[in-house]
A = this chain, B = another copy of it.
């Protein structure tokens, strides 16, 4: 059976497909005996199959031309698989330790074959809900972010390379539009897709829709999200796009990748750690009050930012006489000016990070897609109380972000709220 046209696969037809693709078949030792195939997609958009045999394994991810969790009523280009594969390869090139290897990509089938992140890898969000500390998380994720974002920015790119890449990823506009809608628009207006913990947060949701000062900020960030081609960003870097063990951190699912503001990635990750923090009281019980776990989350937030900025700047210093065309060495030719431009760059990035992070938090409380951190708190009143603190924190960050100058101030502000 040939696969010359797109069709959705299932556990059965996937076997035929694998036989047809040497790059995949060979991973199984060209042998289908004892093969197991299991669909495990718990994400919102796509189908993910774990394929495992006695001599090898891989994961197959296929995009269908609609959004899985909504259904065919919300069409979405399956070309997103093309951009996901492109991004996985680029990010894997710069951060091979933290990105699963791509074995195979089939544009016609909107299908990616990649390394199976075998157990005990779990989705980070689930680990955060379970209260598991990941001692290397900040180190790893800061490494991934610094490397992938630095090397695709003008600090490393020639402007020629940059514009070619920007133009290519303009093609991923349908996914950008989805973010524009669900992150930057829907939470601030009446939308059929919005939901929140009712009736407790009815007033809070309404307040978001009537907060003019908030709308000014989200409007500025929305335009920046669309206009500012600063680096190849993952575009969906929440804690559900990271798989972890105690020793390993792997970033999956960059189907929203495009050239956008760096702070959108850093903010997504940190914003989701802040959500995890505010959800902890909902998971506390007699056996575990989650107090020390909350401290660990706070430390991880601070470490993530501090390590990220340190590594990003170290890459900048390392490559300051290199290919990047934003700051030419003949101009930025003394350590004082080098220090000043880096300070300016990082300050701007910090404010973007807070703003975008806050935007990602707000939409998880009053928008279409919620997070398991809160959803798994079954007592609605308790859940609402956690969500409200997260929401209030996010509103503060979005409106007042330019008044903050260090991550410690964010940690302090969080401790004051809860």
Inter-chain CA distance A155–B344, complex, in Å, is 29
10 inter-chain pairs at a CB distance below 8 angstroms, sorted by A residue, are A160-B177, A163-B171, A164-B170, A166-B170, A167-B167, A188-B331, A190-B330, A215-B331, A216-B337, A219-B332
- Find chain B residues with CB under 8 A from A229 CB: 226-229
Residue of B223, B337, B344 near A220 (CB, 8 A) is: B344
Residue of B162, B185, B223 near A226 (CB, 8 A) is: B162
Whether, in the assembled complex, A176 has its beta carbon less than 8 Å from a beta carbon of chain B, the answer is yes
Which residues of A (132-175) have their CB < 8 Å from a CB of B?
154, 159-160, 162-164, 166-168, 170-171, 173
Contact flags (1/0) for A330-363 with B, using CB distance below 8 Å? 1111101100110010001000000000000000
Q: Are A176 and B154 in contact (CB under 8 A)?
A: no
- Find chain B residues with CB under 8 A from A167 CB: 166-168, 170-171
Least Cβ distance of A262 to chain B in Å?
A: 10
Inter-chain CA distance A185–B219, complex, in Å, is 32
Least Cβ distance of A272 to chain B in Å?
A: 24
Residue of B216, B332, B340 near A340 (CB, 8 A) is: B216
| Chain A interface SS verdict (over half) | helix
- Find chain B residues with CB under 8 A from A164 CB: 170, 173
- Find chain B residues with CB under 8 A from A212 CB: 334, 336-337, 340
Whether, in the assembled complex, A326 has its beta carbon less than 8 Å from a beta carbon of chain B, the answer is yes
Interface size, chain A (Cβ < 8 Å): 47
Q: Are B330 and A154 in contact (CB under 8 A)?
A: no
Q: Are A185 and B331 in contact (CB under 8 A)?
A: yes
- Find chain B residues with CB under 8 A from A170 CB: 163-164, 166-167, 170
Inter-chain CA distance A340–B212, complex, in Å, is 8
Whether, in the assembled complex, A69 has its beta carbon less than 8 Å from a beta carbon of chain B, the answer is no
Least Cβ distance of A415 to chain B in Å?
A: 31
Least Cβ distance of A39 to chain B in Å?
A: 32
Inter-chain CA distance A220–B349, complex, in Å, is 12
Q: Are A219 and B336 in contact (CB under 8 A)?
A: no
Stoichiometry, as copies per complex, reads 2
Contact flags (1/0) for A383-402 with B, using CB distance below 8 Å? 00000000000000000000
Least Cβ distance of A109 to chain B in Å?
A: 25
Q: Are B173 and A159 in contact (CB under 8 A)?
A: yes
Inter-chain CA distance A176–B154, complex, in Å, is 14
Whether, in the assembled complex, A281 has its beta carbon less than 8 Å from a beta carbon of chain B, the answer is no
Whether, in the assembled complex, A325 has its beta carbon less than 8 Å from a beta carbon of chain B, the answer is yes
Q: Are A163 and B173 in contact (CB under 8 A)?
A: yes
Q: Are A227 and B226 in contact (CB under 8 A)?
A: no
- Find chain B residues with CB under 8 A from A222 CB: 326
Inter-chain CA distance A332–B213, complex, in Å, is 11
Inter-chain CA distance A114–B344, complex, in Å, is 45
Contact flags (1/0) for A21-42 with B, using CB distance below 8 Å? 0000000000000000000000
Inter-chain CA distance A298–B331, complex, in Å, is 34
Residue of B154, B166, B176, B331 near A159 (CB, 8 A) is: B176
Whether, in the assembled complex, A230 has its beta carbon less than 8 Å from a beta carbon of chain B, the answer is yes
Inter-chain CA distance A337–B188, complex, in Å, is 12
- Find chain B residues with CB under 8 A from A226 CB: 154, 159, 162-163, 229, 326
Q: Are B189 and A328 in contact (CB under 8 A)?
A: yes
Least Cβ distance of A259 to chain B in Å?
A: 8
Whether, in the assembled complex, A327 has its beta carbon less than 8 Å from a beta carbon of chain B, the answer is yes
- Find chain B residues with CB under 8 A from A189 CB: 328, 330-331, 333
